[in-house]
Structure 1
Amino acid sequence: MSTSSRTPSGASMRTPRRKVAGLGSARSGTGHFWLQRVTALANIILVIIALPIVISMAGGGQEAVLSTLRHPLAALVLLLLLLSMTFHMRIGMQVVIEDYVHSEGTKVLALIGNTFFTIAVGAAGAFAILKISFGG
């Protein structure tokens, strides 16, 4: 700190905001917070809609499951649920990694792995639902 930012008595003239400037983003956590809450709400709504679909397939054979999943509305609901849940999972794991992994290199690798894993899970699930839905 330069001597010009101090008073003759030695007290700092820097404001509290100036003291923390450059130490990280203030407000970036708010977007994550709300995005996590919105995806949680979407998951609740989609689970409530998907539950009767899944229950109707319980106890049925493979043909009953395939017949149900070939209906466009059932496939759409399950696809939206899968994508919403994987996105919510990615956000939640990102917060855990950022909070509890302290080594920068490990943190970056974990965040990259988290993103690739959720994309792989979402893509594999979406592929399976779409393949069944289109009769493949």
Structure 2
Amino acid sequence: MNSDLRSPLNRARGLGSAKSGVHHFWMQRLTAVALIPLVVWFAISLVMLSGADYGMARSWLSSPFVMVLLILTICIGLYHGQLGMQVVIEDYVHNEGVKLALIVAIKFIAVFFGLAAIVASMRIGFGG
């Protein structure tokens, strides 16, 4: 008895029954795990910076280590959110055209805000 549930065409293409579902699942879990220490670090940093003026916050952000962690937090958080929204759209939007348009829009929004956050962080940190 063949326990492979893929169709012969998908077997030939190397695709599973849900195409990239396993990769999506693992990326969502990995980003969630990566966000745990990053969000804890960010929350502690915000508490330590409470009451600080702009100069002190800018000095904090100008550290390469802090800037890298902040950009990682933002980018991984946006990617994780985009993955989650994609699952919701795939599960609850039944019109294929609308589904595709929403998934593409969510991806563009995540990239746009990620780039905007990187540019803003670098301008503040480098004093631009």
What TM-score do the two structures reach when normalised by structure 2? 0.83
Give % identity.
Answer: 35
Larger radius of gyration: 1
Distance, in Å, in 1 between the alignment partners of 2:74 and 2:80 is 10
Structure 1 residues not aligned, in runs of 5+: 1-14
What number of residue pairs does the alignment pair up? Answer: 121
Matched, 1:134 2:120: no
Distance, in Å, in 1 between the alignment partners of 2:85 and 2:16 is 20
Distance, in Å, in 1 between the alignment partners of 2:57 and 2:74 is 17
Could you tell me whether the CA contact under 8 Å between 1:53 and 1:74 is conserved in 2?
A: no
Find the counterpart in structure 2 of residue 109 from structure 1: 101
Q: Where in structure 2 are the equivalents of 1:1-136 lying within 5 Å?
A: 21=7, 25-26=16-17, 28-136=20-128
Q: From the superposition, tell whether residues 45 and 91 of structure 1 become closer, same or farther in structure 2 (CA, over 3 Å).
A: same
Distance, in Å, in 1 between the alignment partners of 2:97 and 2:111 is 21
Could you tell me whether the CA contact under 8 Å between 1:69 and 1:132 is conserved in 2?
A: yes
Counterpart code for 2:116: A
Give 1:51 deviation, angstroms: 2.5
Counterpart code for 1:112: V
